[in-house]
Structure 1
Amino acid sequence: MYIAITRQQLGDNFRGSARDFVRYLGKENKGKEPEQQEGYFNQEENHIDAERVIAEIDANTAKLKQREPKFYSLVVSPSQRELKHIGNDPEKLRQYTREVMKDYAASFYRDQEVTVKDILYFAKLERERTYSEKDREVKENQAFASKILELQHQARAIKEGREHGDLAKVQEKIQALEAEAPHKQQGKRIVPGMAKEGHQSHIHIIVSRMDVTNSHSLSPGSKFRTSETTLHGQTVKQGFDRDLFYRAAEKTFDAQFGYRRNYVETYHARNLLDKDPKRFFSALLGLPTNEQQAARQLLFKAGVKVPVIPVNKAQLAYKAMMQLKKGIGQALESGSIGI
């Protein structure tokens, strides 16, 4: 499960109003009949139109300064394995989102309990994901892409008479490189912007910075760790516990759908990999044989080269460990593993 929280962009794009962001989220609806378009939903309602989303988010900004974000966006992106487990069912994803937003509310550190009823949010299901420069397949195709682009420039120059050369041979080289590229989809070299195959459903959530009463700020910003401060002579709790939220969202999915999560799919494993790769590697070795085998298969499917693991934990090779960390890190960045 991959979940990301991002503040409203305050540069040239998405300034002030939520309109530009909502327009961006409408990309999958382009060219579809109204009845085929995916609408927004919240905790209680379905089929909410985009104009209402914009109006309510834009109106809920009391007390916020000009350069403060008016909203945050969340992406809830289950792995293909998780999506397969629930049959890629859009209604189950909507149900899960509503439970996740309960976890989101419960992760605020405040003097008074925050519940989902305090949160103003709208969510939208998307069914496609595209390849980006971060994906392993794109990275490993890059050397071929660069050579192909250079040859394409050469072929164009020959056609336009700016260079002399054998156009047929240049085109043959291009075709050969296309065939040699390691990663293809339906016979075509994978490039940034290409839609990914398989189940790719995910949820985008736009959540107001202010609560539903438009009187209290609820910021999940990374700078707002759980802490206490003195305000008007009184101690006040503030902050948002992201670790608590990510762990809770994962447990909610597992409990709601009876999902048996492998160690390498857990948020705990990802956290450990970042902070202490040696402990991550040791924990992987300590798994029961069947779970360790399943973990290795998941890593293999994600394109991670798992080095030969020594029987004796004391023999753990630093080089092998760091190679594994690098491979898993790249898989995580590209969303190949759902942790």
Structure 2
Amino acid sequence: MYITITPQKLGKNFAQSASDFVEYLEKENEAKVQEKMEHFFNQYHEGIPAEEVVKGIDGNTAKLKKTEPKFYSITVNPSKYELNKLQNNSKDLKRYTRELMKDYVRSFNREIKGRPVNIDDIKYYAIIEHTRTYKGTDWQVKENQPYAAKILNLKNEVRKIEQKQIQGNIAHIKEKIAQQERQVPHQQNGKRIVQGTPKAGNQSHIHIIVSRKDASNSFSLSPGSKYKASEVTMNGTLVKRGFNRDQFFEKAEKTFDKTFGYRRNFVDTYKGRKEFIKDPKSYFANLNKLPTPERIFAFKMRKETGFSVPIIPINKAQLALKIFKGLRKGVDIARKSSSIEI
């Protein structure tokens, strides 16, 4: 499971309204019949109109400056293995969202009127989506890019020959194009994966819009706080501050596992991905300690996420420098997947 938290920006500036983002999240409902549409929901209500979401978020920004985010977007991306544990994607993911947001508020080191933040203190709206498309940053698209560039150059040659700008054998060039298409490493349904290609399989995920201000529009609750958990004296009063991101990510996994009876593999944990980034040697040592069936499955999962590194002997005092160079690509992918993007 990959969870990201981002403040919504338009270029270098924070969005002053949630309208564009809400409209974007409604895109899946286009051309769908009413009974198959997904609608916004929150902790207690379903079928919330988009207009109400925009009004709820935009009207809850008291005393926030233009340079401060008005709302945050939380995206929850269950793996295909996690989704396989669900009986009904929409119904189950809604139930999970409501439990997840309880973990969210518990991760704030804040008090409101002398008590910890609770679920009724936040204003959020969520929606379930069932489709995804490949982005230019996806590793499949990146690894296909050299082939895409060659194919484009060959197609340009064909165009120039047809326009009599150069001479050449069109049939021969078209055969080269076909050959390049066959050699492309990442294909789906017999076609090259490019940016915008719909992803196959179960792609259900959750989008959550949560207001920066609490439900009373009086207190700021920022998951982007640089403080994990601390106290500071302000105007002679001791004030708690901070948001524990590690706690939120770890609780999110435990809540899913408990709710749906999911048995999580080491490589599928936030703790494991974080260890891979910070201490690869320890990560592979722990990976190699797994029982054989779990270890085999772990490497299968790693390969599916876009980085596959051979088992590293753990009896050596140090990892070879060339192995660390080989890890670098995987580290970049893992960092993006497991970090909070603030």
Q: Shared topology, TM-score over 0.5? A: yes
1:303 shift after superposition:
4.6
TM-score, normalisation: structure 2: 0.91
User: 2:57 corresponds to which residue?
Assistant: 57
Structure 1 residues 12, 80: CA separation in 2 closer, same or farther (over 3 Å shift)? same
Residue 153 of structure 1: which of 156, 165, 173 is its match? 156
Residue 238 of structure 1: which of 225, 234, 241 is its match? 241
Find the residue that maps to 1:228 and give its secondary structure: strand
Find the residue that maps to 1:287 and give its secondary structure: coil
C-alpha RMSD over aligned residues:
2.1
1:311 shift after superposition:
6.6
Find the residue that maps to 1:220 and give its secondary structure: coil
User: 1:85 corresponds to which residue?
Assistant: 85
CA contact (8 A) 2:14 2:70 kept: no
1:312 shift after superposition:
3.1
1:138 shift after superposition:
1.3
Query: Cα deviation per residue 1:151-192 (whole Å; 9 max; x = unaligned)?
Result: 122222222333332222222211111111111100100111
Structure 1 residues 307, 19: CA separation in 2 closer, same or farther (over 3 Å shift)? same
1:313 shift after superposition:
5.2
Structure 1 residues 4, 328: CA separation in 2 closer, same or farther (over 3 Å shift)? same
User: 2:269 corresponds to which residue?
Assistant: 266
Identical residues among aligned pairs (%): 53
Q: Distance in 2 between matches of 1:67 and 1:304?
A: 37
Residue 117 of structure 1: which of 116, 120, 131 is its match? 120
Find the residue that maps to 2:9 and give its secondary structure: coil
Find the residue that maps to 1:256 and give its secondary structure: helix
User: 2:28 corresponds to which residue?
Assistant: 28
User: 2:43 corresponds to which residue?
Assistant: 43
Q: How does 1:145-224 map to 2 (within 5 A)?
A: 145-224=148-227
Q: 2:281 aligned with 1:275, yes or no?
A: no
Paired letter, 1:298: M
Find the residue that maps to 2:44 and give its secondary structure: coil
1:132 shift after superposition:
1.6
CA contact (8 A) 1:303 1:331 kept: no
User: 1:320 corresponds to which residue?
Assistant: 323
TM-score, normalisation: structure 1: 0.92
Q: Distance in 2 between matches of 1:250 and 1:60?
A: 30
Find the residue that maps to 2:116 and give its secondary structure: coil
Q: Distance in 1 between matches of 2:309 and 2:88?
A: 29
Q: Distance in 2 between matches of 1:158 and 1:334?
A: 45
Q: Distance in 2 between matches of 1:68 and 1:227?
A: 21
1:297 shift after superposition:
2.5
Q: Distance in 2 between matches of 1:225 and 1:331?
A: 22
Q: Distance in 2 between matches of 1:334 and 1:139?
A: 16
Find the residue that maps to 1:17 and give its secondary structure: coil
1:227 shift after superposition:
2.2
CA contact (8 A) 1:10 1:69 kept: no
CA contact (8 A) 1:211 1:218 kept: yes
Q: 2:299 aligned with 1:299, yes or no?
A: no
Query: Cα deviation per residue 1:26-60 (whole Å; 9 max; x = unaligned)?
Result: 11111223333211010011111101100111101
Unpaired stretches in structure 2, ≥5 consecutive residues: none
CA contact (8 A) 1:3 1:76 kept: yes
User: 1:16 corresponds to which residue?
Assistant: 16
CA contact (8 A) 1:127 1:202 kept: yes
Structure 1 residues 10, 311: CA separation in 2 closer, same or farther (over 3 Å shift)? closer
Q: Distance in 1 between matches of 2:334 and 2:278?
A: 17
Find the residue that maps to 1:125 and give its secondary structure: strand
1:117 shift after superposition:
0.8
Q: Distance in 1 between matches of 2:299 and 2:171?
A: 46
Structure 1 residues 105, 118: CA separation in 2 closer, same or farther (over 3 Å shift)? same
Paired letter, 2:213: M
1:285 shift after superposition:
1.8
Paired letter, 1:54: V
Find the residue that maps to 1:4 and give its secondary structure: strand
Structure 1 residues 95, 310: CA separation in 2 closer, same or farther (over 3 Å shift)? same
Q: Distance in 1 between matches of 2:166 and 2:334?
A: 42
CA contact (8 A) 2:133 2:196 kept: yes
Query: Cα deviation per residue 1:170-228 (whole Å; 9 max; x = unaligned)?
Result: 22211111111111100100111101111110000000011111111111115343222
